[in-house]
Amino acid sequence: MAKEKTVFFCSECGFEASKWMGQCPNCKSWNTFVEEKTVAKSKNKQVSYGDRPKAVSIGEVAVTEEVRLITGINELDRVLGGGIVKGSLVLVGGDPGIGKSTLLLEMCRNLSDKGTKVFYVSGEESLSQIKMRGERIGANSKNLMLQSDNDLDNIFASMENCQAEVMIVDSIQTMVSADTDNAPGTVTQVREVTNRLLQLAKRLNVAIFIVGHVTKEGMVAGPRTLEHMVDCVLYFEGDGNAGFRLLRAVKNRFGSTNEIGVFNMTDKGLEEVSNPSKMFLNGRPENAPGSVVVSVVEGSRAIMLEIQALVCDSNFNMARRTAVGVDYNRVNLLMAVLEKRAGLNLAGSDCYVNIAGGMKLNDPSADLGIAMAIASSFRNRALDSSVCIIGEIGLTGEIRGIRNIVQRIGEAEKMGFTSCIIPSSNYDKSSMEKMGIKIYTVSNINEALGLIK
């Protein structure tokens, strides 16, 4: 007979222990262990291996092409790698109210209008609430099936009957599996529900999207093993005060993880942004000290962003450093290079760096733009508002080459910029002479700062 035992799980990584611990030995997180009850299955002493699957040579494996469903939302298709792959399990995470359910419901509207059968399950909203959201965005096709339930057995029975090609589960923390007695949202319950949904996706060759809540640190609530079980992890992020939203893939077995999708939240739902550069540069001040424009690459697209810096005398013994949208340690590193290599005395000054529009930037090609914005504010001298800055800075003050330089310059030219500062190692006379934009080349930080009039 199966016995019940009490174990402790780490809510961050899913590590299992027989007793409570203050710090998880696996992920080193503090106070993350929760107590849960599990059922130990009895072992079968008679084991037969005759009918079990056997290993095969890689040359004998038949390769089948991925069958993708086009959602009709170009930004979503780009992040997914070209569309929805049948038989895949996709996790969509994001802050409450960011627009996860709206995005998925718009996807369901487009798919159902094309004749694809979609099954939408909600454990948080009633059918009337889903209907109200659906009417707001125009989702009223008979191919869109709804169910308000959190019992996984009932959901599986409905799925078998409707034979849908795409299934939405909103949200994973509300679902309950009868095989586990734990409360909804616990580590054991979330892991068991996800495992059963994964088996359903592979068995019926149906694409399943699951919505996951996030913690205050921005990670999907529940064990980190949840991200390892799914085929694709998408994060829906953005500033709650701003209208735009970013859809970013952090894991994708069927495409690139560098792509991002840009949306704009309106009263009629989410709208795609085909020209993100125009949106991020909207309202940019001209000839203002501390304001520069950089060209970064996210996935397969180049985007123009405004970097703002404010440097002022500190009133405290220790100067303040604040970075929004860029790595705080990277800003400190660049300020150290400016002090050592360019002779700027920044030790007694407060420094604030911000990416206008709320975009989070990890591209090292923005180093030169950040450094020149800081120097511009420190000297109180403005850069020409029609110049774009591209380049990575090394610790010795050298300007290092970056990738996709032609694509970045082309985006700057398309947005009406007349000049561009690039690393000397990236200059190609044959391809850049034909461009209708003036190119300035720099090899170190002092040459770049000399362009500030």
186 and 251 share one domain: yes
> Is 50 annotated among the ligand-binding residues?
no
Query: Is the residue at 58 inside a domain?
Result: no
Does the annotation list 99 as a binding residue? yes
Q: Annotation-wise, does 101 bind a ligand? A: yes
Q: Give the pLDDT of residue 53.
A: 77
Determine, yes or no, domain membership for 96: yes
Domain boundary among 274, 304, 332: 274
**Based on the domain organization, do 300 and 399 belong to the same domain?**
yes
Domain boundary among 274, 297, 328: 274
Per-run averaged pLDDT (10 residues), the chain, 453 residues: 72 80 86 75 56 84 83 93 93 87 94 95 92 90 94 93 93 86 80 92 94 67 72 83 80 87 86 88 89 90 94 89 94 96 93 88 93 95 93 96 92 93 92 87 94 76
Report the C-alpha gap between 259 and 303 in whole angstroms.
Answer: 12
Q: Answer yes or no: do 290 and 415 share one domain.
A: yes
One domain for residues 198 and 257? yes
**Taking the mean position of all CA atoms in its chain, how far away is CA 257?**
9
Q: Is residue 378 part of a domain?
A: yes
* Domain assignment present for 207: yes
CATH number for the domain including 329? 3.30.230.10
Please report whether residue 57 resides in a domain. no
Among candidate residues 221, 245, 274, the one where a domain is terminated: 274
**pLDDT at position 38, please?**
67
Neighbours of 389 (CB within 10 A): 28
Residue type, 355: I
Co-location of 308 and 366 in the same domain: yes
3-state secondary structure of 198: helix
Position 182 scores a pLDDT of 76
**Is residue 133 in a domain?**
yes
> Tell me, what's the pLDDT at 184?
81
CA distances from 6 to 34, 175, 179, 183 (A): 10, 22, 16, 14
State how many domains the chain has. 3
- Cβ within 8 Å of residue 42, ≥6 positions away: 1, 2
Q: Which residues of 270-280 are buried (b: 16+ CB within 10 A; e: fewer)?
A: bbebeebbebb
DSSP calls for 236-259 = EE--TTSSEEEEEEEEETTS-SS-
Tokens of 222: 């529940």
- The whole-number pLDDT of residue 255 equals 87
The CATH number of residue 82's host domain is 3.40.50.300
Q: Are residues 147 and 221 in the same domain?
A: yes
45 inside domain: no
What pLDDT sits at residue 349? 93
- Do the annotations mark residue 96 as ligand-binding? yes
3-state secondary structure at position 166 = strand
Answer yes or no: do 370 and 421 share one domain: yes
3-class state of residue 308 by DSSP: strand
* Helices within 261-419 (DSSP H only): 276-280, 328-342, 367-379, 405-414
Same domain, 143 and 269: yes
Q: Starting at the edge strand that comes first in sequence, how are the strands of the sheet with 3-10 ordered?
A: 16-17, 3-10, 33-40
Q: Is residue 51 part of a domain?
A: no
192 and 125, same structural domain? yes
Pair 33, 108 in one domain: no
Domain identity same for 198 and 264:
yes
Closest of 44, 100, 231, 68 to residue 165, by C-alpha? 68
- In angstroms, the Cα distances linking 225 to 168, 195, 267 are 20, 11, 36
Same domain, residue pair 184 and 71: yes
pLDDT given at position 354: 95
Range of the domain at 36: 3-40
Q: Is 97 annotated as a binding residue?
A: yes
Of 75, 71, 72, nearest to 276 by C-alpha is 75
Closest residue by Cα to residue 231 from 67, 91, 118, 73 = 91
Which pLDDT score, from 0 to 100, does residue 355 have? 93
> What is the pLDDT at residue 44?
55
